[in-house]
Chains A and B, each alone.
Chain A
């Protein structure tokens, strides 16, 4: 049986797409027939690897380097994507950052950096993308949250706060732009085999696995597949939702 291609021809932009879950989402979207653009901040090598993987999957990506909290970069990126593809169907606000720090060691600049990347970045990119989506009277915005804001677990407070902010942004924006048939949802993955799990101490991972109904970490690919469904035409009635994929924590 041929796997479904849920995103055939869809024009998709993913922030923080060069590694981890962002990269998995980019590749999943390509498998589903999408045109893929992604942004990255620092690591050119990772971006090159992801671009090469996308090309190998038959997708010629658009790649942009910059900070999601830099309004000029955001404007330029969206403008370039729209210019290249004459529109934008899907935005995934995936870029995020965290630090493993207790409250005593979190300085003001740490707070700002984490909030800027997750919350402000999602706002800036959403606002820029919406101008195109509203004109088109359709679109999908998918914000990538975290189990850190969904369950009572220990998480760095700035990270948890930023991800919680995304929930509020998702719910309010979904209500505001629903009249244009633009869906805005929040996907909150649990601990995955990429990203945070790579820097957590082993006992933290073991604790997570022991608490999860499935007794394992999630894979980036299975969350990426879920993301592909959420931004596809198959999702025609879900907006303002938070979808938790954490293996049953």
Chain B
């Protein structure tokens, strides 16, 4: 990509990044260009100058970055500072956020070899985490990071290839986790209805990668024509009432024009709770060699959403997560009309700062005092002041409360949560970093970490860029420090 950052560029902030070749730490300037974009500029003594665009809108970038997140550091640190961020992960003494989105990588096995895969996997002598290790991780999360957990995300590889997946899900529920999500490419689920039924029985949530409705884009991103498979998978998940999150990876010029269709698809499915839209990252076994023209910034995704949802959602309908760096997560909530009317973004009846406050210190919307206070104020305001959509919004809110708090029986907390999430759906835009865009300021405020049985937690971007490639569990030939790995193909075998 051509560097547009010029000498006239205005410095926005300084940070530490990584060399895209050797991954050594480099000082980096983040600058706003005369054209209104934000670029990161750095130079490796061995591999030269490196510029990368971080945002197409400097005003949005600076305004968003200025939002102060809720500080909630981890209770227990596992590493002292030695080499500096991002080389002391554990978390180290400098890390600012406890883990809110724990990611547990339970297997190295995968039955797909996506060109955009941003991690490393291996199928020969595949690694499967055992139940004891998984238990230790859950206990560390509770003890080291504090209290109840909104979510645990089980990932791989392809977690449905783990022989004890269902046991792990049940274990997480027994430990009081509110939501247990299982990332999946959907291949096995599409042809194993019994597994889908059993996932429903253990109240698993499937986080299904679903990138495109178009044949060419589908193949380009996943290395196979999978649309029919994904749709079959969705049929089964819907049939068995499995709560589902759709995870499309946005790639400029490939599928970004489809984001509105993907959102409409998710909002229209009763079992879909959220959409989590990722921006492509160029790391891992596949991503390293993917075409850089596909790089897309958070703000561009928000713009595409506005362009392709006919005004349903725009950048102003999103707020950052209060418990992550503001440039990492943008979230919009929509009130769903069960009668088929258009969904209503929360920002149509809440100011953005109220919505931000309502999320309080949660990554996912939970019935907190903050949420209750904000919603009550909103209801009173709608009722007293009226307005174009006030009656309809009040009617939908009332239906949501009736579903969550029926008078003829008490729902379990899980049932009430599910009822709430049928009435209110979230769209997350999550921007991961790779070697080129890496910014330690964001890494230090990350709440999204890969977790180990000894209590170590590593922010997922750090993990994907630096740590996973060095683990024998996931690599036939683990990388060493000072080299970049990836770009290899996974050995695929016939798998269940």
Contact = CB atoms under 8 A, between A and B. Distances in A.
User: Is B one of A's binding partners?
Assistant: yes
Interface of A: 41-43, 97-102, 104-105, 113, 195, 198-199, 201-203
A219 B410 CA distance: 16
Nearest to A42: B408
B398 interface: yes
Given A104-B383, A105-B401, A201-B372, A99 B407 contact: yes
B401 A101 contact: yes
Nearest to B395: A105
Given A105-B398, A105-B401, A195 B379 contact: no
A105 B384 CA distance: 12
A104 B372 CA distance: 14
B439 to A, nearest CB: 35
Nearest to A107: B398
B377 to A, nearest CB: 10
Contacts of B383: 104-105
Nearest to A41: B408
Nearest to B410: A198
Contact of A101 (B372, B380, B398, B409): B398
Give 7 nearest A-B pairs by CB, closest first. A198-B410, A104-B383, A201-B367, A100-B405, A105-B398, A203-B369, A199-B405
Contact of A104 (B380, B404, B410): B380
A99 B409 contact: no
Residues of B in contact with A, size category: 20 to 34
B416 interface: yes
A102 B380 contact: yes
B492 interface: no
Contacts of B369: 203
A219 to B, nearest CB: 16
A102 B376 contact: yes
B407 A203 contact: no
A199 B368 CA distance: 14
Contact of B401 (A41, A100, A198): A100
A195 B410 CA distance: 7
Contacts of B405: 99-100, 199
15 contacts: A42-B408, A43-B409, A97-B407, A99-B407, A100-B401, A102-B379, A104-B380, A104-B382, A104-B394, A105-B379, A105-B397, A105-B401, A199-B411, A201-B372, A203-B368
A98 B413 CA distance: 18
A127 B190 CA distance: 63
A41 B408 CA distance: 9
Contacts of B367: 201-203
A199 B410 contact: yes
Interface string B409-422: 11101001000000
A77 B413 CA distance: 35
Contacts of A102: 376, 379-380
Contacts of A202: 367, 413
Nearest to A98: B407
Contacts of A199: 404-405, 410-411, 416
Contact of A105 (B372, B394, B411): B394
A6 B440 CA distance: 71
